[in-house]
Amino acid sequence: MTELVERVDDQDRVLGVVSRDDAIRHGWLHRIATTVCRDEAGRFLVCRRAEGLSRYPGYYEVCFGGAVGVGESYQVAAARELAEELGVQVPVREVVTFLCRGEIGPYWLSVHEAVITGDVSPDAGAVSRVGWLTSAELDEAVRRHRFVPDGQEALRRYLAAGT
């Protein structure tokens, strides 16, 4: 199934509709929405990506998200991705949007925050396991495990925004 995205310019203005694969293959800018999930104690939700994924299988990640669909806002996409990946319906708040010069190509990345108070039901096709980590535990995990590089940049931007 072809995932369609909006190709955008360096000002995040829509140029047209393309497949996400073409956007990546040709280095065309498109939009990605991601969310840093916290609990009421301020811990971070961290996951290990499923082994069958095409991008970063088995890597750890502190952000949950994906491509913004055609006609979709960053915020709607971020909430949709949380529902798909974690089985939760929670409000998301945009924290920062920036032009990410990512490992697989450039794209506009909008980083959101969500507070999760209940259980999550991860999609086994996307996530192999999840757990809550304090800031100190997350710092240690980043030193010991392979984390998605773009997710780490998103986390740095999120933290720098003073959230």
Structurally, the chain folds into a number of domains equal to 1
> Which range, of 13-22, 50-59, 89-98, averages the lowest pLDDT?
50-59
* Nearby residues of 115 by Cβ (< 8 Å), 6 or more positions away: 37, 38, 39, 40, 90
Q: What residue type is 44 in one-letter code?
A: F
pLDDT at 163: 63
Residue-range definition of the domain harbouring residue 152: 4-160
Q: Is pLDDT of 1 > 80? A: no
Q: What is the CATH number of the domain that holds 26?
A: 3.90.79.10
pLDDT in tens, 108-121: 999 999 999 999 99
pLDDT in tens, 83-134: 999 999 999 999 999 999 988 889 999 999 999 999 999 999 999 999 999 9
* Nearby residues of 161 by Cβ (< 8 Å), 6 or more positions away: 95, 96
pTM (two decimals) = 0.94
* Nearby residues of 42 by Cβ (< 8 Å), 6 or more positions away: 134, 135
Phi and psi of 57, rounded to 5°?
Answer: -65, 135
CA 64, CA 37: separation in Å to the nearest integer?
Answer: 8
SS (H, E, C) 44-82: EEEEEECCCCCCCCCCEECEEEEECECCCCHHHHHHHHH
Q: What percent of the chain lies above the pLDDT cut of 70? A: 99
pLDDT at 55: 86
